[in-house]
Amino acid sequence: MANPSSPNGKKVSARVAVVAAGVVSPLGFGLGETLESLRKARDCVSPVTRFSVAQCRCRTAGQIPDDRLLASQGEGIRGHRLHRASHMMIQALREVVTQESQFKPELTVIGTTSGGMSYGEHYYRSLRQAEKLRHAPTWIANYPAQKPVIDAQQAFGISAPCQVIANACASGTNAIGHAFECVRSGRYQRVLAGGYDAISEMVFVGFDSLQASTPEKCRPFDRHRTGMVLGEGAAILALENLESAQQRGAPVLAEIVGYGISTDNFHITQPDPTGVGARQAMERALQSAHVLANEVDYINAHGTATVFNDAAEGKAISELFNGVPVSSTKSMMGHSLGAAGAVEAVFCLLALQHQFLPSNINFSASDDDLDLNIVANETRPAVLRTVLSNSFGFGGTNASILMGKFQA
């Protein structure tokens, strides 16, 4: 459908509704369990059990229990051959389809970083150790990043074209932002968007080797923060042209109203310490939405609890916003990398729907160099109309989306 025009001939951007959402993460399976965990400010980080961490500094992560994840998919040979990431995507998409069975996507956009990385590890180790390669076909078939997306679509008879965005830890937010632009432009009416990532040993050990991970609690924006913990999960949002959604009587959970990106090119693993990249992404999201900084009611920060990230992001937030409540929900479930932006978008959706501020747990003391209004340790009721979600990744890639409470 062509982009509509106003009487003066200028193009009019379509409003973009969120009509359904699905999520699986350490906080729970589905919107209901996730909401309960957010409200109770649960610490869902636990000792790593999937592989040995005996030689690592960090020994904890936010994990989705295998027994429940695999049991939810039922029995069958094919199900047992799929990677955990595929099961996560199937779980998230099942919730979307259950909520909105009439939603027929024209495009699917998913962000991720690692695909079936753990199967790649198995294959490489078998080659190096001259072991039998009986399972090699399964390992290789499940390694590509698009495989979990294809598996999820196939499970529900969806054949929409699929785009995978791999842009470090901004991937999930980039996917939602790109899908938002696709619908707002009028080129598409309905797009599935989200992200996934599953914990793998190589990624875990890699962050530990960089000394970015903490042997303690994850404490975003705290003076005593010592690093991040990893997490995992998947989340999918169904985005639709608002007029189309209303015409067919679909529920409108919220609206995506703005999207901003930047790349600061400062360092491969560190953000520009001035916070210029983060600030540009947030400013561009505001401009995209035609929203002023003082109209934002809550910020779900990237907030990895690493010294450099929190300092740069905190500086950008304090310069651009005046006392807006801020929290990093990574304190509760860890950093799910390419999935983080999508999972945290669902957190923002729930915050808008139920009018509360998710908490930044494990917080004890403000950083002397940061002037932030941290939602410390407990959720708070609040009147929320517009919320901002940040995702910033290696290589200085930055993305922000603005989500608004639906108003007819």
Q: Which two tokens stand for residue 392?
A: 């910033």
CA distances from 251 to 193, 243, 248, 303, 402 (A): 17, 12, 9, 32, 20
Whether 335 is catalytic: yes
User: CA 248 to CA 154: how far, in whole Å?
Assistant: 25
For residue 17, list its beta bridge partners: 240, 255
| Burial class (CB within 10 angstroms; exposed 0-12, middle 13-18, buried 19+) of 13 | middle
User: CA 52 to CA 121: how far, in whole Å?
Assistant: 14
Whether 348 is catalytic: no
User: CA 370 to CA 382: how far, in whole Å?
Assistant: 23
Catalytic residue among 58, 169, 182, 348: 169
Catalytic residue among 83, 87, 178, 302: 302
Whether 224 is catalytic: no
113: nearest Cα among 227, 213, 220, 207: 207
Q: How many residues does the chain have?
A: 408
User: CA 159 to CA 167: how far, in whole Å?
Assistant: 24
User: CA 356 to CA 168: how far, in whole Å?
Assistant: 29
Catalytic residues: 169, 302, 335
